[in-house]
Each structure stands twice: as C-alpha cells, then as structure tokens.
Structure 1
Amino acid sequence: MLNKHIELAISASLEAGKAIMDIYDSVIEVEYKDDKSPLTEADKRANTVINSYLKTASIPIISEENKQTDYELRKTWNKCWLVDPVDGTKEFIKRNGEFTVNIALVENGLPKLGVIYVPAIKTLYYGNAEEKKAFKAILSSHDSTINEVLNLSKPLRPKNNTSNKVEVVGSRSHMNEDTLDFIDALKNEGKDVEIVSKGSSLKFCLVAEGNADVYPRYAPTMEWDTAAGHAICNAVGIKVISKATNAPLTYNKENLLNSYFLVSK
C-alpha cells in the first residue's frame, strides 16, 4: 500500500504526462519567459492538471509555472509540494524524449517523497525517503491505475562500485568548466571516467538505479528541478550535497535557486 500523498503525486504525474504527449505529438509553439527560458503549451496544461490533483491534499504548492508566494508566507509552511510540470523543456522542444514531470513533497525543508515521470517512454520513478524505498515502473499507458503501477514496480538499487571505472552523469546542455575540472580530478586519481549524458531530472534517476556513480551539478538549478530526484536518491542511500554548505540541499528557501551540488554515495 502506498502513502496517500505518493499515490496522489503519481496520479497527477501520469495525467500530466498524457497532456504533455498530446502537445508533443502536434506542433510545438514556444514562447519565452522574462528569464529567456522557453515555455510551451505543455508546461501550462501539465501545470493545470497537477495543481488540480495536488490542491485536494490542502498542502501549498510551489510550481515553476505558478505565481510564487511571498517568502513571508512561505516560511510559515512546514510542508509544501514542489512541482516542475515539464522539466527539460529544451529537451521537449528538441523532441529527444528526455523530459520529465517532477513532483516532490517537502517537509521542514527536506524532500520526503518524490515522483518523476518520463512520459515519452511511460516510465515512472518514485521514492519515499523516510521508508528508504524507491521504485521504477515501465507502464503500458498513461492511464495506468495505482494497482497496475504497483504490480509493475521494481526496486531501485544504486551501484556498489568496486572497480576503477567511474560513470559520471553529464548534462547535454551544461558541461561547463567546473564540471570538466571535477572530471579531470577523478582522472588524476587514476580513475577511468566515462560520461553518461541525460537531460532533465533523469540524471538523478541514473545514479539511483545504478546506471551511473556520480552526478556533479555545477550549473544553476531551481528547487523544483531537484526536489523529486533528491527524495528518490535519499530513499536508496544516495546523498545530494550542496557545494556551498557541505550539507544536503534544503527546500522552500527564501531564494528558490539551488547552490551547486554533488549526487553520490
């Protein structure tokens, strides 16, 4: 039996995924926000769907596509949802399939539950950080029921790496100087480094499911980009450590921008 909030987030993500793919399979029209980031009809529709589900839990919502609540009110929230309706809008526009729906439940600044849905391949990741359980389910339909999700779910298990080879997650869009320095440092330790590229929050999933060892993120991200992946990683013993504080990333901060971070055992 699943936690009721994870059930709600899974249902919301599947319904949002269906709406996203309706747009994906038609003409994608792109507009640009004030910060020059792209926005499509898929972002808007998925956001509407997700909000309609999550608001039934009477827990406040921070979504990339919602008007942000003033911090003076937000700081009184001990729980909130963090949502990115389409994480990897650039990947969506490129039609490479590497975009996700991210939904997380945060409590007292820490990610407790995370759901990441990859609608292009109908693959769902979800995890409960407190119960230390995370799963992956490859679905046949966006209309899958919770029981069907449960029946198809397989536990996520990160790598137990004892070899000299280190698989490093690199972004298709953000391989900058700091990341290259990190890779060079591994090579100087005598490690055999292999780069594994993925878009969006799938980079967290690669580490959580054992298809990579480490994900250095030395480029800007927002809280809604990372909270779901952070929860899923925590559920399988993977840490998400801020390079600014040397402690886990925290959420519902006054500034919703994350510091650089490292995802690893």
Structure 2
Amino acid sequence: MEQNLQLAIKASLEAGKVIMEVYDTAFNVELKDDKSPLTEADKKANDVINSYLTATEIPIISEENKQTEYSVRKTWNTCWVVDPVDGTKEFIKRNGEFTVNIALVKEGSPLLGVIYVPATKVLYFADVSKNEGFKAELNAHQTGVEDILNIAKPLQPKKGNSNPVQVVGSRSHMSQETMDFMESLKGDGNQVEVVSKGSSLKFCLVAEGNADIYPRFAPTMEWDTAAGQAICNAVGIEVISKETHKPLLYNKQNLLNPWFLVSKTN
C-alpha cells in the first residue's frame, strides 16, 4: 500500500480515538467567526493529524489550521486536505454520523482518501491511481494496517439503473434546490427514495452501493469533500461541479466548493 495512504489511515484512527474520548464527556461547544460549531474534539483531532502529516513535509489545508495565503498555496503541487471532524453538528447531536476526512491532492485532483467513522469504527480508504476503494469494520481504533488490509472489502457501487432511485439527502442541509432535483427525477418516471446521512458518509453511501446519486446544492468547503471524492473516483463514481461540469478541484483560491453532483460514470 502507498506509504502516504498508510500514514493517513494511522492518523485517522488515532484522531478517532481522541474524538471518542471527548464524545464520552460533557464537552463545550464554541462558535467560530462563521458561526459554525467547534468542540475540543475538533482541536485535539487536528493536533493528532498534523503530528502525523507534517512528517511528510507536504503542506496541509485543514479546516482547523490557519489558512495559508493563496499567493503561497498556488505554488503547491501536492497538499493534504483535512477535516478533523466532519459533521460537528452530528457530533454535538451525538448521532454517530461524523467522520475524520484526510485526502492527498495533486494538481487539484484527489489521489488518496481516508474517511473514518469513530463512533462505529468503520474505515473507508482508496487509492485513485489503482482504482481501488475499500471498507473495513474494525474492533478497535488501534488496529494495525496489516490487520485492516486482511479484513477490508472492496467497495462496489450499484450497477445499472435502479428504480426507485436512491438519492442521498443531508440530515442538516436539505435545500429547496435538492428537493427540486428529486422532483425532476420523478418527472422522468422514476420513483425516488431518500437516504439520509450526515457528514462525508454521503459519499460513502454511493461508493458502496447503498445509494445512486448525491446532489449537493448547498455550500461545502474543500475539506468536506476531498476524501469522499477520492473514494468515489477510485470506484468509478464522479463528483461533478454544477458550475464547470467537470470534477471538483482543490487548493483553489476560494476554498468554497461550487454545487456538485455525485453519481456513476455514464
């Protein structure tokens, strides 16, 4: 396995461990300048992940790091894109649907992706260059990489067309545009079933064949999507900008994503 992917897996598991230590306490919630919530888990997980990734000497874009000026970032050929706790709202609700997201990006495109679900100890990881994506259900956060490889199962998206069409909807962000999109599917003669998940698990649902399509017509940041896009791309699922009609790109001047659609390659 690619050395950077191994490192990202180890970082995600260690971050998951510290996240769950906070999850099991009466933690405080702060509000950042943009009014999004922040907990001790976000900070501790970010410290853990940085401690692993800085050893690679590859620069890091993380939600919880101070962002580097674009005049510097634009010179980066390769970078990590990290969300230490994706789905902080789900963490606060204690519904278990939050993740650790770590991706390695080269020239704007995700190469490697890791999504770890600390509450259930489920790990998704992928190498886009090898067209390989896997899911592993762990017994402990401290599981070794070799053991993970022994139990990991290949991700298999749905084949062919299905009816009803399973559309991934957010627990926290169901926009009017998303509801309009589902109505348009019905207009084409499809039945529609909504599958709800929080955080980057929405990408995983499509990648593992538990949903057909994920429309995201609401704001996201690069760290929300990079790992999920890597996992989807590795198994033939595209993440297409509604603005450019091309795959989402990373380390842009503006780290805000355009709206996008996650679906099978035609």
What is the match of residue 230 of structure 1? 229
Contact 1:161 1:213 in 2 (8 A): no
1:110-129 alignment, distance < 5 Å = 110-129=109-128
1:95-244 alignment, distance < 5 Å = 95-244=94-243
Normalization by structure 2: what TM-score?
Answer: 0.99
Instruction: Output the amino acid matched with 2:215.
Output: P
- Whole-angstrom distance in 1 between the partners of 2:74 and 2:173: 31
Q: CA deviation at 1:63?
A: 0.2
Q: What's the C-alpha RMSD, in Å, of the aligned pairs?
A: 0.5
What is the match of residue 260 of structure 2? 261
1:22 matched to 2:21: yes
- Whole-angstrom distance in 1 between the partners of 2:24 and 2:137: 20
Q: CA deviation at 1:161?
A: 3.4
Q: Indicate the percent of aligned positions where both proteins have the same amino acid.
A: 69
Unpaired stretches in structure 1, ≥5 consecutive residues: none
Instruction: Output the amino acid matched with 1:263.
Output: V
Instruction: Output the amino acid matched with 1:102.
Output: N
Deviations 1:222-258 (A, max 9, x none): 0000000000000000000000000000000000000
Normalization by structure 1: what TM-score?
Answer: 0.99
Unpaired stretches in structure 2, ≥5 consecutive residues: none
- Whole-angstrom distance in 1 between the partners of 2:55 and 2:13: 17
Q: What is the SS of the residue equivalent to 1:191?
A: coil
- Whole-angstrom distance in 2 between the partners of 1:221 and 1:131: 27
Contact 1:82 1:103 in 2 (8 A): yes
Instruction: Output the amino acid matched with 2:90.
Output: E
- Whole-angstrom distance in 1 between the partners of 2:242 and 2:226: 16
- Whole-angstrom distance in 2 between the partners of 1:103 and 1:162: 31
What is the match of residue 31 of structure 2? 32
- Whole-angstrom distance in 2 between the partners of 1:5 and 1:128: 10
Q: CA deviation at 1:148?
A: 1.0
Q: CA deviation at 1:143?
A: 0.4
Question: Once superposed, which parts of structure 1, at least 4 consecutive aligned residues long, lie more than 4 Å away?
Answer: none
Instruction: Output the amino acid matched with 1:212.
Output: A
Q: Work out the number of aligned pairs and report it.
A: 264
What is the match of residue 50 of structure 1? 49
Q: CA deviation at 1:165?
A: 1.5
- Whole-angstrom distance in 1 between the partners of 2:109 and 2:199: 21
